[in-house]
Amino acid sequence: MAEDKYCKSCSKELKSYELNNGRKECESCRCKSAAIKITSTSEMDKIFIKKWVSNLFVKYYEYLQEIGMSNAMCLRHIRKVRDILIIADKELFKINDINEEWIEEAFHRVKGSKRSYKGFCYFLETNKILENRQERMTIERIQDSLNTVPKGFRRLLEIYVNNRIELRNRHITNNAKKPLSLKTIITDLEVFRKFINWIQLNYPMNTSWDLIEEYQYNEYFLTLTIRHREVVRKDMYALLRFAKSKKLIFHIPIADLPAREFPSSIEPLGIEEQKKIALILRTNIYENPLACLISSLCFYHGLSSLQIRNIKIQDVDIDNRLINIRERSPVFLASDELVTLKAYIEEKNLNKKIRTKNYLITGKYMSYQDKPVSKRYITNAVRSLTGYNPKVLRITCYTVFSSRYGPQLLVECFGLSMTQASRYGKLEEYLIEEELREQIK
């Protein structure tokens, strides 16, 4: 009968080998039923003794479903992880006893479980059950870098780095919005190491921080580019001020001068270039909706690459024609932009690998992990369509709005700080111009 050709659960047409074997359900539905049975309470009570083990097993299955993994892959992974957790149920007393060494040893004991190792470790790290390996490796790299610093300079850098790592941990513990990044600590350390190498090369008699004089700092600053010089000078002053507070030096040899303001190195696009980009965005809606959508968000709304990457499907409100963005007012879409958004979502839904992802912007060949695309992906998409990078389009957007409505609009509507907004126009000058217009009227 014709009805026998379709799966009784999802109504999907059965494949020929499934019909020959008398199957009533497709492979995906069979795997889903098997996974539900394995994670059922009655089945887990037969296998696990400790409650925390069964809870962890169910949580892992829910995690696999959340990231959009297929039912067949879910079943394969939970079967292997079930064997790992059976060992944990026998050998471990509590969930905090799980560590990287035990995980690695347990996976070696279970045959054919290597494919599940990386994903299960990532799940444990995400739920803060296992220490983040990437973070630990980064801290080890920082310590290795400190060991290469000459002895006379090393003590201060060790205290400074440990203080910054403690500050980062406090940020994380207190749920800070933007905790101090390890990348920032590494960058600062590299700045100090380059200065120490220069001192050793040009003034080998200076073997510690308290022997370096002001003119030597200034000589080093003059070897740097004008823009980089200000950043390094501020970093060096922060380090020396910290050293004086810890009584490692007696005085700060460089002055705390205000930072110089430099003109922007990226000029906004002229009116003719803006017209060309607007034409490109209107004529490529259906040919390349993804690049058109990203470019429109940069060009018309001044969104950064980070903000675009972090947009989720739940942030999109098509009925009200807006996209909610963190830390700034929503993006209200024009008619062309709404058509572009619908065209991209329609194209995305045709791809089975990415249609279940939570993020709006996803690559065509994203892995099973539900994570945002890279900054390079956004840059390449915009440059391939318009010939400019996202930063140029964003600066053009800010400059146009600031020149017409004043820099205060950038603060209230685009979420910029007063310092950032002042780069695109002086609020005092705009207020004077407004007053003059009123008097002329």
Bridge partners (DSSP) listed for residue 322: 317, 332
Q: What is the DSSP letter of 5?
A: G
Q: What is the pLDDT of residue 383?
A: 93
User: Distance of CA 230 to CAs 221, 226, 258, Å?
Assistant: 8, 7, 9
For the CA atoms of 6, 7, 13, 19, what is the dihedral angle to 10 degrees?
-80
Q: What is the mean pLDDT of each run of 10 residues along the chain (441 residues)?
A: 65 71 76 85 85 87 82 85 86 82 83 79 79 79 90 92 90 80 91 94 91 91 87 91 90 80 74 92 90 92 91 90 87 90 88 80 68 89 92 91 82 80 68 60 57
CB distance 43 to 37 below 8 Å: yes
d(CA 272, CA 292): 19
The CATH class that applies to domain 271-405 reads mainly alpha
Q: pTM for this one?
A: 0.58
Domain assignments of the chain as residue spans, ordered by start: 39-126, 134-245, 271-405
- CA neighbours closer than 13 Å in the CB half-sphere of residue 35: 26
CA distance 318 to 341: 9
